[in-house]
Amino acid sequence: MEKIFEYNEQIIMIETEEQLHELTAKMKKLERFVPCVINDVAVVGIDKEKELFLEEQCNNIAVNLHGSPLKVGSIDPDIPENHKCIEEDGMFLAFPWNESYKILPLMSVGYPSILKRLEMDCGAMTRFSVKADKLPLPADEKGQMLTRIAQLNSKLCYVVTLDGKVPSVVSDQYVQLPYDDLIHTMTDVLTKEHPDIKFQDGTLTYEYLVANYQLNDTMMEESLRLTLESAGRKVDSLSAGITFSSSDLGLSSVFLTLYLNLNGIRISLGDGIRMEHKGEEASMENFQKKCKELGRVLQENEERIEELGLMKVTDVPGVVKAVASKSPFLPKAATDRVISDLVAAGVDSGTGIDVYLALNEIVQIHMNTQKVSDERFLAMTEGVAKLMFTDFSKVQPEEVYEYKSIYIWLRNLCRKNQRC
């Protein structure tokens, strides 16, 4: 069987544009969206704890559909994908296929999607191990209960299949927008405005595609450089780029986000372009129109940088702490480090651009020191981009005395030991 991924958690690092197009074309070829009525779908649970009865559980499986038992096939536990599923949580999905039924493993990323379709995303269904004083419901009983609930739902859904597994079950509102078509549409539009645009790198997982491009637009970058310098920032190096991201599993909209690499720190710019995978607006034609709006979005962000440079902030470390404490997507360890660095550098008053760059540096430090999933990366960069339009001059600073105390203690210790 032709496959994209070797294992569920694989992150494919994309190094060239040729590799990107090969992967997205292959995804378009192999990924299937199978239309089903929810009450024709059954969840099958294979309980690995009942090892002596494994063969009995896997052979000639019958489920109660529409008031009577229906044989939906068998599960071969020797197939690697099936074996791994049984060892992990044991959840499979049976669904109509070519006038018969097919049973495929429900991936861990796909199981919550069927729970959402059935309005059953509760602790009893998501718990697969002992938690405090609560035991897990056996997989076979989960399957029976979910299949019974499915009988009450006559909505349409789409079962997504890839690599002999089910990574998602999306709603009837979902509009399929293949990565391959989106990427080609985007580059066709952007090449006209930025002829030297180059693919930089990307990642592909079951959940997301993320692709970064460098615009290589000298005039635009020079304009941004002048804007930043007039805002009081020293610019040693500057380049502009675009990040494309989307999810075929309904986990994310299609995003185009602008960013700067300023002195080695990635700076997210504004909200960028977004298109959901649902509704009348979810089409390649509309995406093409949105791509043409990037010039306007860039201009708005340049104007906002200028505004931030004029925005007076009396206590930069305190405002960074205040904003970060109200932004749960910003990790505490990286936040503490950035605030400590600001205190150590003697930064006190400044402008809104100082605050915004510090918030972006929090994300950069976390990315450099931790293994971060695409989902987490997108949540952090999107969250920081929205903060760009905060009026930092009106944010009440939080006390950073503990950082100053640590810095003073370390400075005195260095002086005592004659190391500084």
Strands 209-214 and 198-204: antiparallel
Tell whether the model's pLDDT for residue 92 goes beyond 90: yes
Whose tokens are 């994300």? That residue is 363
Q: How do residues 279-333 score in pLDDT, each as one tens digit? A: 888 999 999 999 999 888 888 888 898 899 999 999 999 999 999 999 999 999 9
Q: What is the pLDDT of residue 416?
A: 53
Encoded tokens for 191: 């090449």
Q: Which DSSP category does 314 fall into?
A: S
CB 32 within 8 A of CB 161: yes
Average pLDDT over residues 228-247: 90
pLDDT-based confidence at 419, cuts 50/70/90?
Answer: low
Query: What is the number of alpha carbons within 13 Å of residue 92 lying toward its C-beta?
Result: 32
Q: How do residues 242-255 score in pLDDT, each as one tens digit? A: 999 999 998 889 99
Average pLDDT over residues 210-234: 90
Of the given ranges (45-59, 198-212, 382-396), which has the lowest mean pLDDT?
45-59
Q: Quick one: CA dihedral 208, 212, 213, 218, positive or negative?
A: positive
Q: How do residues 60-86 score in pLDDT, each as one tens digit? A: 999 999 888 999 999 999 999 999 999
Encoded tokens for 131: 């938690």
Tell whether the model's pLDDT for residue 415 goes beyond 80: no
- Of residues 215 and 378, which shows the higher confidence score? 215
Beta partners for residue 309, in sequence order: none
Beta partners for residue 134, in sequence order: 131
Q: What is the pLDDT of residue 115?
A: 96
pLDDT-based confidence at 404, cuts 50/70/90?
Answer: low
CB 14 within 8 A of CB 203: yes
CB 241 within 8 A of CB 267: no
- Percent with pLDDT over 70 in the chain: 95
Q: What is the pLDDT of residue 408?
A: 44
CB 268 within 8 A of CB 360: yes
3-state secondary structure 156-192: EEEEEEECCEEEEEEECCECCCCHHHHHHHHHHHHHH
CB 272 within 8 A of CB 256: yes
pLDDT-based confidence at 413, cuts 50/70/90?
Answer: very low
Tell whether the model's pLDDT for residue 371 goes beyond 90: no
pLDDT-based confidence at 402, cuts 50/70/90?
Answer: low
Tell whether the model's pLDDT for residue 407 goes beyond 50: no
Tell whether the model's pLDDT for residue 188 goes beyond 70: yes
Task: Return phi, psi of residue 3, to 5°.
Answer: -135, 160
If DSSP codes are grouped into helix, strand and coil, which group holds residue 158? strand
| C-alpha radius of gyration, the chain, whole number | 26
Closest to 361 in 3D by CA, of 271, 222, 261, 221: 261
Neighbours of 17 (CB within 10 A): 16
What is the amino acid identity at position 175?
Answer: V
CB 41 within 8 A of CB 94: yes
Q: Note the pTM of the prediction, 2 decimals.
A: 0.87
User: What's the chain's average pLDDT?
Assistant: 90
Q: What is the pLDDT of residue 412?
A: 47
**CA 126 to chain centroid:** 21
Task: Return phi, psi of residue 223, to 5°.
Answer: -65, -40
Q: How do residues 125-180 score in pLDDT, each as one tens digit? A: 999 988 888 999 999 999 999 999 999 999 999 999 999 999 999 999 999 999 99
Average pLDDT over residues 250-268: 90
Closest to 21 in 3D by CA, of 181, 248, 242: 181
